[in-house]
C-alpha cells in the first residue's frame, strides 16, 4: 500500500482544503499520515493517522518565527518514526508549511500544493521561488493561478489544478443541525422566508452594505444570513439598514455545510484588491453547488469562468445595490434552471480522480 504523508502547519480543521485532501487519500486506499500542529473540531478522518506536533501560530513575531524552525524539526523526526520508502509521497500543504523545510524534500517523491498567489506579500513570493523547484509536482486550486505561477517561477510545466471541491459532500438539502440553538434559529427563519446566505469575511474592508440594502427590499420573501466572525462589530450597523438579518458566527468545517444546506441563494463576493482575489478559488462555490444552490458572485474571472460560465448563477458588480436586486429577481424567476445547472457544475469535477492523478503522476 502506497504511503502518503501530508504535512500542514497549524490546525488542519481550519482548512476545508486540507480536509478534502485527507479524506481523498484515505478513500483512495493510501496509507495516510497527517503531520500537523493540532487537530480540533468534529472532523472524522477515517483511516488517517493524525500526528499532532504543536508549534502552530503565535501573535508574538519572535515565537512565530521560532515555531517555523521547531515545527520543521519535529515534523522530520515524526517522518523518520513513520518510515519512508521509495514509494512514499510527501505532500506539503501551503507555502507557510514549506518554509519550515527549505529544500529538505528534494530527494523525496514530493508534492507542494499552493493555495494562494500571495501577490500582495512579496516575502511569500520570495519563499515560493526559493523552494518550489525542490518538489516533483506543484498543485494549484485554480487554472489562472497555476499559469501565473508558471510565469513567475519560470516553471517548465504548468502546475496541476485541483479545485477546492469537497471530496465528500452531504448533497442533501435542509440537513438537521447538530447545534440545537442554531437549528432553532434556522427553523424559525424558514417558517416564512427563504435564506440568502453570505459566508465569508465581515471585516470593514469587505463592502457588504449594498447586499444588506438589497436584501431589505425582499424582506417579505427572503432573509439575509451573514455567516462569519464579526471581528469589526459591523452586525449592529447592518441591522440599522435591515433589522431582519441573521448573524451566525464561525462554524468549524465540515459542520458549516449543514447550515449551507438550508440556503436558497448563495453569495460569493470578492474584491479587486489583488490577483489572488480576482482569480479566486473559493470552497464555497462547490459547497453551494453540491446542494444545487444558485449563486450570486462578483464579476471577476475566478467566478465568471466557473459560476457564470456554467449558468449556475450570476456575476455582477457587488457594489451596485440595483444589480444585486436584479440578480435576486432573475434567479427567483428562473430558479429551477439555475439550481439544476448548479448541480451539473458540481458534478463536472472528480476531485478524487485529480488527487489520484497527482500522486500517480510522480515517477
Residue 198, phi then psi, degrees to nearest 5: -110, 120
Express each pLDDT in 195-234 by its tens digit.
Answer: 999 998 898 888 999 999 999 999 999 999 999 999 999 9
Whole-number pLDDT of residue 354: 97
- 335: Cα separation from own chain's centroid: 26
Whole-number pLDDT of residue 1: 77
Q: 3-class DSSP state for residue 33?
A: strand
Q: 3-class DSSP state for residue 113?
A: strand
pTM comes to 0.92
Would you say residue 363 has pLDDT above 80? no
Whole-number pLDDT of residue 362: 86
Would you say residue 252 has pLDDT above 80? no
- 230, 236, 239, 245 alpha-carbon torsion, rounded to 10°: 30
What are the chain's domains? 3-162 (3.40.50.2000), 180-346 (3.40.50.2000)
d(CA 87, CA 106): 14
In the block, cell 517523491 appears at 109
- The angle subtended at Cα 289 by Cα 350 and Cα 7, nearest 5°, is 50
Whole-number pLDDT of residue 206: 86
Please state the three-class secondary structure of 259-300 as a single string. Answer: HHCCCCEEEECCCCCCHHHHCCCCCHHHHHHHCCCCEEEECC
DSSP string, 194-261: EEEEEES--STTS--HHHHHHHHTTTTTEEEEEES--TT--HHHHHHH-TT-EEE----TTTHHHHHT
Would you say residue 284 has pLDDT above 90? yes
Whole-number pLDDT of residue 11: 93
Contact present, 207 and 62 (Cβ < 8 Å): no
Confidence of residue 44 (pLDDT cuts 50, 70, 90): low
Whole-number pLDDT of residue 232: 92
Segment 87-91 shows an average pLDDT of 97
Would you say residue 254 has pLDDT above 80? no
Task: Give the number of other CB atoms < 10 A from CB of residue 156.
Answer: 6
**DSSP state, 304?**
I
The overall average pLDDT reported for the chain is: 94
Task: Give the number of other CB atoms < 10 A from CB of residue 122.
Answer: 9
Q: Looking at the DSSP assignment, which residues form a beta bridge with residue 6?
A: 34, 91
Express each pLDDT in 145-162 by its tens digit.
Answer: 999 999 999 999 999 999
Would you say residue 107 has pLDDT above 80? yes
In the block, cell 457544475 appears at 345
Express each pLDDT in 48-67 by its tens digit.
Answer: 999 999 999 888 989 999 99
Task: Give the number of other CB atoms < 10 A from CB of residue 191.
Answer: 6
Confidence of residue 271 (pLDDT cuts 50, 70, 90): confident
Whole-number pLDDT of residue 294: 98
Whole-number pLDDT of residue 361: 85
Whole-number pLDDT of residue 226: 97
Express each pLDDT in 295-346 by its tens digit.
Answer: 999 999 999 999 999 999 999 999 999 999 999 999 999 999 999 999 999 9
Whole-number pLDDT of residue 348: 97
Whole-number pLDDT of residue 148: 98
Amino acid at each position: 500500500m502506497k504511503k502518503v504523508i501530508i504535512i500542514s502547519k497549524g490546525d488542519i480543521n481550519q482548512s476545508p482544503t486540507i480536509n478534502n485532501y485527507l479524506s481523498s487519500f484515505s478513500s483512495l486506499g493510501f496509507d495516510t499520515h497527517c503531520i500537523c500542529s493540532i487537530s480540533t473540531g468534529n472532523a472524522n478522518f477515517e483511516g488517517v493517522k493524525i500526528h499532532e506536533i504543536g508549534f502552530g501560530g503565535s501573535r508574538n513575531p519572535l515565537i512565530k518565527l521560532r515555531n517555523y524552525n521547531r515545527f520543521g524539526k519535529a515534523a522530520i523526526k515524526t517522518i523518520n518514526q513513520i518510515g519512508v520508502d521509495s514509494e512514499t509521497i510527501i505532500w506539503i500543504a501551503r507555502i507557510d508549511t514549506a518554509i519550515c523545510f527549505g529544500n529538505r524534500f528534494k530527494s523525496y517523491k514530493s508534492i507542494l500544493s499552493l493555495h494562494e498567489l500571495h501577490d500582495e506579500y512579496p516575502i511569500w513570493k520570495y519563499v515560493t521561488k526559493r523552494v518550489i523547484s525542490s518538489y516533483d509536482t506543484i498543485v494549484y486550486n485554480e487554472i489562472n493561478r497555476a499559469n501565473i505561477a508558471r510565469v513567475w517561477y519560470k516553471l517548465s510545466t504548468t502546475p496541476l489544478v485541483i479545485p477546492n471541491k469537497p471530496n465528500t459532500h452531504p448533497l442533501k438539502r435542509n440537513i438537521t443541525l447538530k447545534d440545537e440553538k442554531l437549528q432553532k434559529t434556522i427553523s424559525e427563519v424558514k417558517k416564512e422566508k427563504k435564506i440568502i446566505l453570505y459566508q465569508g469575511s465581515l471585516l470593514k474592508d469587505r463592502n457588504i452594505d449594498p447586499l444588506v440594502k438589497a436584501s431589505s427590499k425582499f424582506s417579505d420573501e427572503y432573509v439575509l444570513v451573514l455567516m462569519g466572525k464579526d471581528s469589526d462589530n459591523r452586525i449592529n450597523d447592518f441591522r440599522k439598514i435591515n433589522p431582519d438579518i441573521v448573524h451566525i458566527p464561525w462554524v468549524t468545517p465540515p459542520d458549516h455545510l449543514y447550515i449551507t444546506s438550508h440556503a436558497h441563494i448563495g453569495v460569493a463576493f470578492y474584491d479587486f484588491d489583488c490577483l489572488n482575489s480576482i482569480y479566486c478559488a473559493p470552497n464555497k462555490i462547490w459547497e453551494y453547488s453540491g446542494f444545487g444552490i444558485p449563486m450570486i458572485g462578483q464579476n471577476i474571472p475566478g467566478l465568471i469562468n466557473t459560476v457564470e460560465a456554467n449558468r449556475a448563477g450570476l456575476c455582477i458588480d457587488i457594489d451596485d445595490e440595483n444589480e444585486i436586486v436584479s440578480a435576486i429577481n432573475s434567479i427567483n424567476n428562473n430558479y429551477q434552471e439555475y439550481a439544476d445547472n448548479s448541480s451539473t457544475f458540481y458534478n463536472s469535477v472528480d476531485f478524487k480522480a485529480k488527487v489520484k492523478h497527482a500522486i500517480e503522476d510522480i515517477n
